[in-house]
Amino acid sequence: MTDATPEFRDPDDLRRRAGVRGDPDRDQHFLVDDRVLDRLAGYLPDDADRSHLLEIGGGTGALTDRLLAAGDRVTVVERDRDLAAFLREEFSEAVDAGTLDVVTGDALDVELPEFTASVSNLPYGVSSEVAFRLLPLGRPLVLMFQAEFADRMVAEPGSSEYGRLSVSAQHYADVEIVERIPPEAFDPQPRVESAVVRCVPRDPDYAVDDEAFFLRFVKALFTQRRKTVRNAIRNTAHISGIEDPDAVVAATDGDVLSRRPGALAPASFAALARVAWSASEVGPGQ
């Protein structure tokens, strides 16, 4: 790479050459604001390894173009066969040089490469599923979501947005909103504001006995978010798999039991889950 500012393809020209207009019914909202596109890769942490960048949902390649300048190698996953074929043709030089690989398929099903970081404008309809496929892999992520979803990811205990999504995302990474994007940055325009979330992987400051159980336990309790933790544990034993919910209640501090799930920090959920794990149907010795 050189110090000169690269000349990127115009997003509108890319869409014209691809022969697509975007289809809200198919979750296609193309990011066309050059200023936003230029900033996205820069939101990766300064020390992030950029040797192999992953993009989910390449579309017509406006972001792909910038990622090729920001990293050594890029893999794009695009489920639309026509758009995947267009990307291979439009960026044929990069494909031939081995710096770009275009994978045709659904990001929830395809085998992902050993990427070092991801920068993606996620399809909103599957953004949650894709995010939670990427987060456990422990790589820096810069992902665009609907703003409401992003607000829930970064929410703190006690806020109205705090919930299962907050605890689960913050279990894997430090998450923060780095930019809010208006509908006008897309074509066709979505009906909602968007937001860019940076996820920096780190180990949590608490221990869990079984990660799958911990996440299932958090999910179960938040189905009863208006109940006290005491009642939520008892009412959701069939979801979390706790064989003896009364034993969990008896082993838990009364102050915790009297709170509602939305008031518990992730570390408190972890402590509670450790107690619940020993009383679960799939716990130790089962």
Task: Give the residue numbers of the binding site for S-adenosyl-L-methionine.
Answer: 29, 31, 57, 78, 106, 121
Q: Of 194, 195, 196, 186, nearest to 29 (Cα)? A: 186
3-state secondary structure string across the chain: CCCCCCCCCCHHHHHHHHCCCCCHHHCCCEECCHHHHHHHHHHCCCCCCCCCEEEECCCCCHHHHHHHHHCCCEEEEECCHHHHHHHHHHCHHHHHHCCEEEEECCCCCCCCCCCCEEEEECCHHHHHHHHHHHHHHCCCEEEEEEHHHHHHHHCCCCCCCCCHHHHHHHHHEEEEEEEEECHHHEECCCCCCEEEEEEEECCCCCCCCCHHHHHHHHHHHHCCCCCCHHHHHHHCHHHHCECCHHHHHHCCCHHHHHCCHHHCCHHHHHHHHHHHHHCECCCCCC
Annotated binding-site members:
29, 31, 57, 78, 106, 121
Q: Are 281 and 210 in contact (CB under 8 A)?
A: no
Cα distance between residue 196 and residue 149, in whole Å: 11
Q: Of 95, 84, 96, 133, nearest to 111 (Cα)? A: 133
Q: Are 61 and 92 in contact (CB under 8 A)?
A: no
